[in-house]
Amino acid sequence: MVALLLGAATTSFAQKANLDNPFSLEGVMNLASGVTWEAPSVRARYFVNDNIAVRATIGLGDGLGTPRSESYNFSDSSGNMAGTRDIARLAWNASIGAEYHLEGTKRMSPYFGLGINFGGGSYNETWGNSDGTAYVDGLDAEVNYSQSMFGLQLGAGLDIYLIDNLYCGFELGLGFASYTYGDITTDVTMGGITTTSVDYGGSETYIGTGAGNASVRFGWRF
């Protein structure tokens, strides 16, 4: 695949753009175990001069590959699907940063980049006639909490222009990310009586070159 792209980049009509068209718009595909769309995102970039570009990225997902929603059904003693458990997640991520592009060639533009990442999200879980794991007649519940993320990323990449202004890119970085989870509130209703419990939130910290720090990009400069 890489060899094919490099071969396409050497065609005579492929040429790196200049300051006459300093904007670019990209789609970013992260790499993890294989190639996945764990955190699909869109990136806008603006070249201040031939070497320096500023960029902003926005996307959906927490960067961990967590599914957006889940649904489970539980059967009663008669085999009827009478209990449910539904999970809904909403997560977003964004980044601002800058790139320093080296001299490269007419068709290839290597660069170093620095980014500040942040994001947030919410979690909602609803039980109907279940305890979340099995059917329980008359038991309903709702679970809620929120989360936030902050991170830093230092990386290097390469843009390869396939035809005028159309390019693919590769990027690998070392990233730090801290996820903070709010208190988990659970409201359980049984026999018309509702009780509320609160579990204190927590945090997770990641550092490395995993998902979100290695990507393939396709973009158009205009």
pLDDT for 213: 63
State both tokens at 101.
């592009």
pLDDT digits 0-9 by tens, 13-51: 455 656 678 999 998 876 654 444 445 688 999 999 989
Domain ranges in the chain?
2-221
Listed ranges 8-17, 152-161, 210-219; the one with the highest mean pLDDT: 152-161
| Mean pLDDT, all residues of the chain | 84
Q: Tell me: the pLDDT tens digits for 82-141?
A: 899 999 998 888 999 999 999 888 889 999 999 999 999 999 999 999 999 999 999 999
What's at 133, amino acid-wise?
T
> In CATH, what class is 2-221?
mainly beta
The per-residue pLDDT for 211 is 47
Q: What is the pLDDT of residue 123?
A: 93
Is the pLDDT reported for residue 9 higher than 60? no
**Contacts with 216 (C-beta within 8 Å, 6 or more apart), sequence order:** 28, 29, 31, 35, 168, 169, 170
Question: What pLDDT is recorded for position 173?
Answer: 86
Give pLDDT, residue 112: 96
What's the whole-model pTM score?
A: 0.73
